Amino acid sequence: MNQDPETKYELQAIFDLSKALNSSLDLKSILDTLLLTLMGKFLISKGLVLVGHQQEKYIIEACKGLPRSFLDSVVHIDDFPLSLTFTADMQPSTIKAFLKKNDILVVVPVRHNSKNLGLIGLGKKSLAGEFSDTELDYLNSLANISATSIQNGLIFRQLDHEKRKSDKSVQELNTLSEIVRELNSTLSKLETNKVVSLLVYSIMGEMMVNRCAVFLAASEGMTLSLNKGIPSDNCSQITGNNQISTELASLKEPILIQDYQDGSTCDAFTAAGIAALIPMKIENENKGVIAIGGKITRQPFSKDELRFLSILGDWSVISIETARLIEQELQKKAMDEEMRIAGEIQRQLLPDSCLTLEGYEVEAVNNPSRQVGGDYFDFIKMSNDEYMFCIADVSGKGTPASLLMANVQASLHALADTGLSLTEITTRINKIIYENTTYDKFITFFVGILNLKKRSFTSVNAGHNPPYLYHADGTFETFDEGGLILGMMPEIIYKSETVKLASGDCIVMFTDGVSEAMNVNEEEYEEHRIEKCIADNFHLSTKDLLKKLLDDVASFSSGCPQADDITALLIKVK
Amino acid sequence: MEGFEVSQSETGGVSILCLKGYLDAHTAPDLENAIQRLVDKKTYEIVVNFTDLTYISSAGLGVFMGFIEDVRKNGGDIKLTNMKPKIYRVFDLLGFPTLYDILDEQQTAVDRFSKN
């Protein structure tokens, strides 16, 4: 055994290093230990270790005395030295240039089972002097000793990487299962907003992005559902632009904005800080788009990540679509209920459809449409000799129209026996309606008083379709005198007219549900058809005449849904 | 399902949010509101203590992403402390340690704020 103290020291150093190397499985710390040992032993201020990545690509896994930015960068080694080599002796190559530039004087290969694991590079010794043969042997020995540790470190890193990948997949699955859980949650609790917010939060956490918006396809194009980190102004610029909106709606695969061909479209997304778009599809039909900003880490999105986002989007949109359908169904139910109530109110306000008066035949009809319009008719007994008749059409449909109609009915009944003239009554009702409604609510209104004894009819027409006065000889006139429709202006003076009635005369009142009934060609029934129908069937009783008129309207508009209430009122003098 | 609670306190001028229970997509808005309230009051030095948090999903992490830029722009930070290993694993998997200060002890985080 050689007792040379230097040799003894070297053996001790090798033993120490080997112990240190084997005590760690972390590649970085193995390489750091190796490099520091060598640099300390030879008093060298620069060193690095390159570790094989794939084929001829090597990564700088450790470096000392060189810029830290070198770490993790890739160096191309086309001609791997199989034994210790001085940079100066190498054939011209990228690696030679790189080593020379950074004052790396010598490189030692690290090989394990004839596989090139990496390369240790060292700069010149701080003290003058070349490497001695003993030193070079020592260098080789260390490279050999460390090979197994480096190999182990590489395997461990690979395993850790695989474990991480599998854990990441589990995390992705957790996120997906949360979305699915939402889908399966009690349907009544499923809300579009909740699903979208779940989606956006998950994406932001999963991808480390702080900009995310969800656009959903609607009949009028893409609409913004939720935006975080992307200003609403930018989002409306996207949804407001036809071309961009169309492009979103036709997206079938995830796309990175940098890959966009069209400059102006690209600019709009870039301005919003959007880096990628992911379509949300059901059976390959685009139902919405997720827009996300770049990662905070500035790393690009990988193909796997885009695929994950795509799956996440597809799953979410199923929940969103289901929630939307449920909301729609609930809304429809609420609307049906409202219509039922409106219809109920309307029915209760209208009188019976016929009135028995001596010397007269009175017949009325009201067929409410499915949506319940605001038609109204009434007869009010004022005295033994006088009856008030009224027909009106309130703007709008549903409950609001019914309530306004109730208002008119109450006012009319209250004013009917005050002894006020018909024009004064109309003026007052107009004022009441004007004061109690918004500018877009109004009422067409026709009111008349029939004096049974005098056989006279006094009327005021406030913008209603002019009723007819048919004579026995088939000629007719219309009741036009009156004034503006109710509810438009506060102070209106109405005019009235009075006609004498003769035997065989017939007053015909109707609403626009009759004159504007539509056929399949979108033509309206119009007054001339009412006139012809009455002329053709004038000989019939009021009951039958009314039935004929309704049948004629129905056959005219067959195939079309009844859009408005149909109301008519006939008074015939016997 | 477990619930989620967030309670707020203050130590040395730093706001502490203590999270408890189950932080997922359903409870994420609670946390978002809590942080939003702080940001609205221009409180930008925030420590989130995870001692009693038993579960976190990606959506929970998403909340932090929504605020970090704004808070840092205003000279503050959101520091995360006292995570159980299971919770830390999720943060680690999604790459959060490169972006966020994640510390073992709440006090360390509070001290870091006062040093700056």
Going by the DSSP 8-state scheme, the letter that residue A188 receives in this structure is G
Whole-number Å distance between alpha carbons of A28 and A341: 77
Residue of A164, A205, A297 lying closest to B59 (CB–CB): A205
Torsion A430-A435-A439-A441 (CA) sign: negative
Residue A171: list chain B partners with CB under 8 A: 58, 90, 93-94
Q: Can you give the three-state secondary structure of A382-406, one letter per residue?
A: CCCCEEEEEEEEECCCHHHHHHHHH
CA distance A198 to chain B (A): 5
Whole-number Å distance between alpha carbons of A179 and A212: 17
Residue B2's pLDDT is: 66
pLDDT digits 0-9 by tens, B45-84: 999 999 999 999 888 888 998 898 889 999 999 999 999 9
Residue of A194, A205, A297 lying closest to B58 (CB–CB): A205
Pick the CATH number of A350-573 from 3.40.50.300, 3.40.640.10, 3.60.40.10, 3.30.43.10: 3.60.40.10
Question: B4, B36, B39, B57: which to substitute to probe chain A, counting the most A Cβ within 10 Å?
Answer: B57
Say whether A167 and B89 touch across the interface (CB within 8 A). yes
Chain B residue set in contact with A, beta carbons under 8 Å: 24-26, 28-29, 57-66, 68-69, 89-90, 93-96, 98-99
* Domain boundaries of chain B, sorted by first residue: 4-110
Question: A177, A194, A198: which to substitute to probe chain B, counting the most B Cβ within 10 Å?
Answer: A198
Q: Which regions of chain A carry the CATH code 3.30.450.40?
A: 5-158, 185-327
Residue A183's pLDDT is: 63
Say whether A171 and B98 touch across the interface (CB within 8 A). no
Going by the DSSP 8-state scheme, the letter that residue A70 receives in this structure is G
Residue A187's pLDDT is: 57
Whether B29 has a pLDDT exceeding 90, the answer reads no
Residues in chain A with pLDDT < 70?
Answer: 1-3, 128, 182-190
Say whether B64 and A182 touch across the interface (CB within 8 A). no
CB under 8 Å to A111, separation ≥6 — which residues? Answer: A82, A117, A147
Unique residue bearing structure tokens 């290969």: A109
Class of the domain covering B4-110: alpha beta
B6: left (phi over 0), alpha (psi -120 to 50) or beta: beta
ipTM tops 0.95: no
Residue B62: list chain A partners with CB under 8 A: 200-206
CA distance A15 to chain B (A): 36
Residue of A407, A380, A413 lying closest to A395 (CA atoms): A407
Say whether B66 and A182 touch across the interface (CB within 8 A). no
Whole-number Å distance between alpha carbons of A466 and A527: 10
The number of C-alpha atoms within 13 Å of A270 and in the hemisphere containing its C-beta is 10
Whole-number Å distance between alpha carbons of B39 and B36: 5
Residue of A353, A354, A289 lying closest to A317 (CA atoms): A289
Strand-pair partners of A478: A468
Residue of A305, A241, A317, A244 lying closest to A279 (CA atoms): A317
Does A312 touch chain B if contact means CB atoms closer than 8 Å?
no
For helices A232-240 and A242-250, give the axis angle rounded to 10 degrees: 90
Going by the DSSP 8-state scheme, the letter that residue A466 receives in this structure is P
CA distances (Å), origin B105, targets A47, A317, A535, B82, B102? 37, 41, 97, 6, 9
Longest dimension (CA), chain A: 150
Does A227 touch chain B if contact means CB atoms closer than 8 Å?
no
User: Token digits for A155?
Assistant: 């395997």
> For residues A400 and A487, is the Cβ–Cβ distance under 8 A?
no
Say whether A229 and B66 touch across the interface (CB within 8 A). yes
Residue A561's pLDDT is: 84
Going by the DSSP 8-state scheme, the letter that residue A518 receives in this structure is B
CB under 8 Å to B22, separation ≥6 — which residues? Answer: B1, B2, B3, B4, B54, B55
Q: Which regions of chain A carry the CATH code 3.60.40.10?
A: 350-573
Class of the domain covering A185-327: alpha beta
- Assigned fold of A5-158: Beta-Lactamase (3.30.450)
